[in-house]
Amino acid sequence: MTLDNSCYGNAAEDQQGQNYDRSFLEENHSYRDMLSTLDTCAKKMGVCWDDYLPLRYPERELTVSIPVEMDDGHIKVFVGYRVQHSSVRGPCKGGIRYAPDVNLDEVRTLAALMTWKCALVNIPYGGAKGAVQCDPGKLSSRELMKITRRYTAMILPLIGPEKDIPAPDVNTNSQIMAWIMDTYSAFQGFTVPEAVTGKPIEIGGSLGREEATGRGVLFTINQIARTKGIDLKKASFAIQGFGKVGRTIAQLLYQEGYRIVAVNDISGGIYKEEGLDIADLSNHVRENPSHLIEGYKAEGISSITNQELLTSEVDILIPAARENQITEDIAKDVKAKIIVEAANGPTTPEGDQILNEKGVVVVPDILSNAGGVVVSYLEWVQNLQALMWEERKVNAFLRKIMEKSFQDVWELQEQKKTTLREAAYMLALERTIKARKIRGTFP
């Protein structure tokens, strides 16, 4: 990008702007961490501050109260959020997560990451994210349905197939997307399958969507291995997280004949130098009432802590759990040669800097875990056209987009002599800023 470097920072001299910026960032630590990387990349690109400044803030935020009559008859009020970071490149897109500790700062950060992710893989979406403060494990199916439907009604002014399309995220699934789609459709008076993605196949979901994020990670692993000359048949893997994404990644790697020596979830971790039997472990998790690794027994396995997994002697580490897992302290002891981020924001800025200094190659989340939003886009396209594609076609599209995106990022980091993370953000910023300049500033 060749934007005017001379005007970078002019707006920063405005005292009112500085005060607002300082106050905003002091209250939002995750968002501040995301911006630290973004600001660095913007400066290296030499973009004009006036072109970049609007992208540092979300376009729209909504906090809602969700009153629900619980199974015992009393009323409980839950808090929900929907944040739209940018609609410059198209309708906003982003998942909805259910978690007791989720907050607006986290949702705001994830919405921004969706903006950069969609721009990076070059699909016509902006970024959004949603959440409800609740613990699904402590709710009945009926209570969960009531929360979902009321939440959908409360954020109805923001969402829609031309405005903002929700999708599954942490602790949400295709059933919850079905309830959202049905609630939205009830208000419209007709069925609108394109209002949400990640739905069950029976009501317009896409084949291949369930495995899309994990499959995208697999394509990324193949690309980085090919580029670095690594024989994956001889490599070892550790996967942090054995939920929806982590388990899919493990199963796909296992099917390729790759050796996964360590996995974990919130119930604990297991290790086996010769390689874990992922098929057997997956069966255990599927049949376990808690759907966790706990209680799994097999010959030759040993228990490991989360820290031991993250710092284990492996070739490729895949964090597929939650944010801020590879901290400064963890990064100092990381022994993996390559980290492929399957979770959103698993590495803190301080940890990232240490990994870079150690020569660890980090494939950033906005590149490696973009498979989910890519196939969400393909689902949306199918719904708009009233079509159903074969899974082979969906996977072929996904592979093409993921491999092209990786090559674009790799070439840019070689050209600019940066990290893969910086190159990914640069490319995403370039596309978003160009779109904004073409559209102009209203009014």
Catalytic residue numbers, as ranges: 129
93 sits in which H/E element: strand 92-98
Place of tokens 């059933």: 175
Inter-CA distances, 113 with 58, 166, 253, 300, Å: 11, 15, 26, 40
Beta-carbon contacts of 353 under 8 Å, excluding residues fewer than 6 positions away, are none
330-349 in b/e form (b: 16+ CB < 10 A) is bbeebebbbbbbbbbbbbbb
Backbone angles phi, psi at 270, to 5 degrees: -130, 155
Phi then psi dihedrals of residue 348, to 5 deg: -75, 160
Angle at 397 between CA 221 and CA 417, to 5 degrees: 45
Q: Kindly report the number of other CB atoms within 10 A of residue 413's CB atom.
A: 18
Amino acid making up residue 403: E
Give the up-direction half-sphere exposure of residue 190: CA atoms within 13 A in the CB hemisphere.
1
Kindly list the distances between the CA atom of residue 359 and the CA atoms of 256, 346, 415, 436, in Å, as whole numbers in the listed order.
Answer: 27, 18, 18, 35
Integer Cα distance of 247 and 245 in angstroms: 6
Instruction: Output the CA torsion 221→223→225→231 (10° steps).
Output: 100
Q: 3-class DSSP state for residue 97?
A: strand
CA distance 3 to 433: 10
Rounded distance between C-alpha atoms, residue 389 and residue 387, angstroms:
6
DSSP secondary structure, 354-405, as one string: HHHHHT-EEE-HHHHTTHHHHHHHHHHHHHHHT----HHHHHHHHHHHHHHH
Look at phi and psi of residue 168 and say left if phi exceeds 0, alpha if psi is from -120 to 50, else beta: beta
Cα–Cα distance measured from residue 137 to residue 142, given in angstroms and rounded to the nearest whole number: 13
User: Cα Rg for the chain, rounded, in angstroms?
Assistant: 21
